[in-house]
Amino acid sequence: MFDANISGKFWDYLCGFQPASLCDWPGKVSAVLFFGGCNLRCPTCHNASFAWKNCVSSNIDHLEVLKRVQKNKKWLDGLVLTGGEVTIIPGFEDLLRILSSIGLPMKIDTNGQRPDAVELALRQSMVKTIAVDVKGPWNKYPHLCGGLVSSSEARYRADEIFGLAQGCPERFMFRCTRVPGLTSDDIQEVRSYLPGGFDLHIQKYQECLENGLS
């Protein structure tokens, strides 16, 4: 049972809650928590309405959300934390600690730009899966991420995460969304970046009116 008295700035970033999802953690029924804010500005972003806010303050009652997750725990397989970008939330490690106390396995979605935070997440035993986006070939990162990460930064950070993943491969998955402009050769190149034994999960790009792209 979680401690209802624990508060933190990180709750201000809670922007959405889906009580049950069949698609956010392959093969599992999961509750999904959406957190706002992101360190990238991908032009193809599907959640720009809350991911691109620098200052997030939602009206969601986190205690009600946690109580609902607790109540549904018996038929849930896990809890997914997604965004936005959860690794940039102030107090991210404390947030993981609190959510761990619910007793459900957790999956974290990340854009891979904070290997230090990914390393912290690995210390929490309830974090069972870290799904890392690899956006495309290194030379396309600036374009794919709204100019907020250089090719060399993308490569360096991904290499850090690949190193972590080699230490506990069962806790990582790597994904690439086939956004407009990404070719089959690009996907092949991304696949070649992964350490041995990892598959690249290709996600279909869904048109999104929110970001003005189609």
Q: Give residues in contact with ligand SF4 (CB under 6 A).
A: 38, 40-42, 45, 47, 51, 83-85, 111
Decide whether 100 or 160 has the Cβ nearer to ligand SF4.
160
Decide whether 78 or 83 has the Cβ nearer to ligand SF4.
83
Name the minimum Å distance from CB 54 to ligand SF4. 12
Q: How far is residue 102's CA from residue 46's CA, in Å, rounded to a whole number?
A: 29
Residue 131 has φ and ψ, to the nearest 5°, of: -95, 115
Name the minimum Å distance from CB 8 to ligand SF4. 21
Name the minimum Å distance from CB 195 to ligand SF4. 22
Q: How far apart are the first and last CA of the chain?
A: 44
User: Treating both helix axes as pointing N-terminal to C-terminal, what angle do 115-122 and 151-167 enclose, rounded to 10 degrees?
Assistant: 10
Name the minimum Å distance from CB 194 to ligand SF4. 19
Residue 58 has φ and ψ, to the nearest 5°, of: -95, 165
Decide whether 30 or 111 has the Cβ nearer to ligand SF4.
111
Decide whether 40 or 96 has the Cβ nearer to ligand SF4.
40
Q: How far is residue 83's CA from residue 134's CA, in Å, rounded to a whole number?
A: 16
Q: How far is residue 94's CA from residue 73's CA, in Å, rounded to a whole number?
A: 21
Q: How far is residue 172's CA from residue 213's CA, in Å, rounded to a whole number?
A: 30
Decide whether 49 or 152 has the Cβ nearer to ligand SF4.
49
Name the minimum Å distance from CB 9 to ligand SF4. 20
